[in-house]
Chains A and B, each alone.
Chain A
């Protein structure tokens, strides 16, 4: 079964680079791209349960509906509540991290300037969760 990753980021460059890295990861991911909080919710809303992504990579700071609000929607919604979500953010603010965990994020990864392989780490993490789930 092909694994699906949804990634939500309002920044085009971020999406281009995430997409490139994910395609190179060798995990054979199917990608769902989303350009913002509302768009992510809209996409998830119309998906059937078996169409849901295996993991969601969520940017924290986005205009209008931010990552925390999307996360809350995902957790409050019966259909999506069990989808693993990784917050992927430039912010290393303790409050942001604490808020994300309070709302039920599975992991919080800081996008670091010298940390270009964080996506590889994510893929690894994601593989692990999936093994746990099956």
Chain B
């Protein structure tokens, strides 16, 4: 940070330039440029805190110079005040401000007005610099944290897989030699390892869900949902769930991998919480009654108390005990993050023992009909 702010004065007329320098020299350091081209070179080299830019110059004029300044990352944040010879009409002033100038002054220059506008300009620049610096360091620490949790989760998988595989090996090779309670303990080790595996996968999904670079395409949600339901049926054949999936549910612009995570979690929930009812049913479709078009995933399971609806999408918060229903409370948090990353919304309705219904949109104003 400099002790005195550095002002770059750009004017093709030496008299105007001298005048501006005289006014500013008590409070600021000044440098000068005689043309737009000079201005670009000097600004990039000296990085002034503010630029006074004449509009009418031979060669590239003030507007063009500003346009080029704004394309250079190094200097695009430097505030520019236009100096124009005559105040011809409102349009020119507006054009100046719209092209990215902070302010404008008309010649002949008035001392007080110039000093005030420069002071304000510098104050704005300082505030903007601070905000930029803060958000940059926030972003950096966020990224560090995300990539840490990603690698931690990822690296936890290998030793866990070994535990699972050794248990399997023990069961396969020595089952006959093990007393019954030892076999039971072994099965509990496998069970714990399996839930840790799910937890790690969910954490990985959660940490991936904040990735900014979504690949937006037309996504067939019905096909994805059908695939997931088939998968669940394969793995949990005893749980006989009737599933209705409306065909041709299309999200016009969504990330397919992320949508798979969303649907997998919502269907997993519906599947899990309908486990204890007699004729479990899951419906996936669009809500035509709702004011805004949205997709729903509905079950007729145990439901939840709407009093706790706020806790639903918070990471690690659960509305049921581990004994009643297995889970780690990350799934819906991940879903919420993915949906809001897409610019959509998610909400839920339920009552105890009357099923639950989750609604979501993949972006604002989308129509699924």
Which A residues contact B (CB, under 8 angstroms)?
Answer: 11, 13-14, 17, 20, 90-91, 111, 113-114, 116
Contacts and interface: CB of A to CB of B under 8 A. Distances in A.
Nearest to A111: B161
Interface in B158-173: 158-162, 164-166, 168-169
B164 A116 contact: yes
13 contacts: A13-B159, A14-B158, A17-B166, A90-B158, A90-B161, A111-B158, A111-B161, A113-B161, A113-B164, A113-B197, A113-B200, A113-B201, A114-B197
Contacts of A90: 154, 157-158, 161
Contacts of B166: 13, 17
B158 A17 contact: no
Contacts of A17: 162, 165-166, 169
Contact of A116 (B157, B158, B165): B165
Main DSSP-derived SS at the A contact region: loop
A15 to B, nearest CB: 11
Contacts of B194: 114
Given A90-B154, A113-B197, A14 B164 contact: no
Given A17-B165, A90-B157, A111-B158, 8 more contacts: A13-B166, A14-B158, A17-B166, A17-B169, A90-B158, A111-B161, A114-B194, A114-B197
A78 B271 CA distance: 55
Interface in B114-170: 154, 157-162, 164-166, 168-169
B168 to A, nearest CB: 6
A85 B157 CA distance: 24
Interface of B: 154, 157-162, 164-166, 168-169, 194, 197, 200-201
- Taking each of A17, A20, A113, which has the highest tally of chain B beta carbons within 10 Å of its own beta carbon? A113
B162 A113 contact: no
B164 A11 contact: no
B168 A113 contact: no
B193 to A, nearest CB: 8
Contacts of A91: 154
Contacts of B160: 113
B336 to A, nearest CB: 24
A90 to B, nearest CB: 6
Nearest to A12: B162
A20 B169 CA distance: 8
Contacts of A113: 157, 160-161, 164, 197, 200-201
A11 B158 CA distance: 10
A66 to B, nearest CB: 15
A17 B168 CA distance: 10
A22 to B, nearest CB: 13
Contacts of A14: 158, 162
A82 B17 CA distance: 75
A36 to B, nearest CB: 16
B132 to A, nearest CB: 30
A13 B166 CA distance: 9
Nearest to A13: B162
Contacts of B157: 90, 113
Contacts of B201: 113
Nearest to B162: A13
A14 B194 CA distance: 18
A17 B194 CA distance: 18
A82 to B, nearest CB: 31
Contacts of B169: 17, 20
A114 B312 CA distance: 28
A91 B154 CA distance: 8
Nearest to B159: A13
A75 to B, nearest CB: 27
B89 to A, nearest CB: 56
Contacts of A116: 164-165, 168
Nearest to B235: A114
Nearest to B201: A113
A116 B194 CA distance: 12
Contacts of A20: 169
Contacts of B162: 13-14, 17
A116 B200 CA distance: 17
B268 to A, nearest CB: 14
Contacts of B200: 113
A113 B153 CA distance: 12
Nearest to B194: A114
A14 B162 CA distance: 7
A97 B18 CA distance: 64
B314 to A, nearest CB: 26
